[in-house]
Amino acid sequence: MDTVRTSLAELTSTAAEDWHLVFKARYGMQQVFAALNAAGEARGVMTQSLTCATAVDPIMVAGLRPVYADISDQSLALDPDRLLPAESWGALVIQHTFGIVDAERSARLVDAARANSALVVEDSAHGLARMVRDGAGSPLADVSVHSFGAEKSLPTKFGGAIWVNPKMADKTLRDDITRRLEGMRPPGARLGFAARTYRLQMAVLRRLPGGMSSAARRALSSVKLFEPAVALSEQEGRLAHSDVGVSPWVVGHMSEHLPGLPALEATRVAAVAVYAKALSDLMPWGADVVGQPLIRMPLLTPDAADTGAVVGGLRERGIYVGTWYRPALFPGVADADTYFYDANDPNLSVTRDVIERIVNLPTAVTEAEAERIARSTREVIEAVRNART
């Protein structure tokens, strides 16, 4: 455990003792919000609906209420100019969507939170070891959440790390968050087995016909022998587990893969630069993301009605194109009311537009492959548009 904490500290110029390791980042977030609720600061948590349901579940499981504000189409994170009235929230989540770190807007969000005496939670699940900082290089968030989970920065599948700012203004809250994170229990025997065998299980499941694969996943999940990236309960406002820290196997896996982060980031940075140049008119963030190791490269289709066809056309060409975050609270929730979410909220116009048009391209590819994908994207979009006329 000390090796991982030390490595994270070195990557972020922080202290190892301020890092806390968990089985999944969502369980660490749960402890942070539980401490906030216990402190009596039980106002809502300002967040966004362009996110995964598992980023909102911890808020609700902790007894707090998510409050959705609109995003900026430049950052795909909360828009500091469109926050809701201060009395409705006591914490604010800055999500680095796909790994896009918008330093200027993030700093303004921090200022708004500080003016509201609100806790600042940085969701850096897509940007392992990346943090928003002030002019002197010090991290700005009170708590920073990082993921080693499935489809994140590393091929680790499991593990999370929570950094707690030693300079947090509310020392009592900081100490309670730290106590809760350090007191988390290791995974039980079945969950530990599910983590250790996840890769083997996925390899077998992928070889089964679609219906059989889905049935096998459900059966294994029901007896707690398979750990899906998003459990059915996590689309219902709950968490699959609670209060789960790390096991020696998870820590070892994190330690094994963490040294490979710089090389993987270099590959992603190169692919991002190719996409940003070739598809700049489809990306409002454009050159702002050049140099950033995004785990996916998002683009917005010219016409919302074409988005599904564009995704289908690219997949027919063998391109692993993603649909994060279509629908909102990805991959979708059983009951939006459970999540206090109104898809027609007039305050969420930018969010709705992005959800309808977003497609994301792989970045763990060579520059040559990124160039091919960019060309294919142009061709597919043109073909879809021509088919509609």
Concatenated DSSP letters for 367-384?
A: HHHHHHHHHHHHHHHHHH
pLDDT at 334: 97
> Which among 4, 15, 11, 1 has a CA at the least distance from the CA of 165?
15
Contact at 8 Å (CB) between 7 and 255? yes
If pLDDT is split at 50, 70 and 90, which confidence band does 41 have? Answer: low
Q: Tell me what the mean pLDDT of segment 220-233 comes to.
A: 88
pLDDT at 42: 64
Question: pLDDT tens digit string along 230-277?
Answer: 999 999 999 999 889 999 999 999 999 999 999 999 999 999 999 999
If pLDDT is split at 50, 70 and 90, which confidence band does 387 have? Answer: confident
pLDDT at 40: 85
Q: Give the count of beta carbons closer than 10 Å to the beta carbon of residue 343.
A: 13
On the question of pLDDT at 179 being above 70, the answer is yes
Contact at 8 Å (CB) between 272 and 297? yes
Q: Tell me what the mean pLDDT of segment 73-100 comes to.
A: 94
Question: pLDDT tens digit string along 50-75?
Answer: 999 999 999 999 999 999 999 999 99
Domains and CATH numbers, the chain: 260-388 (3.90.1150.10)
pLDDT at 1: 67
If pLDDT is split at 50, 70 and 90, which confidence band does 362 have? Answer: very high
On the question of pLDDT at 356 being above 70, the answer is yes
Question: pLDDT tens digit string along 9-18?
Answer: 999 999 999 9
Question: pLDDT tens digit string along 111-140?
Answer: 999 999 999 999 999 999 999 999 999 999
If pLDDT is split at 50, 70 and 90, which confidence band does 220 have? Answer: confident
pLDDT at 135: 92
Q: Helices 261-278 & 367-388, crossing angle to 10 degrees?
A: 40
pLDDT at 85: 87
Beta bridge partners of 59: none
Contact at 8 Å (CB) between 120 and 92? yes
On the question of pLDDT at 321 being above 90, the answer is yes
Concatenated DSSP letters for 60-119?
A: HHTT--EEE-PBPTTTSSB-TTSPPPGGGEEEEEEE-GGG---HHHHHHHHHHHHHTT-E
Counting residues of the chain whose pLDDT is more than 90, the rounded percentage is 83
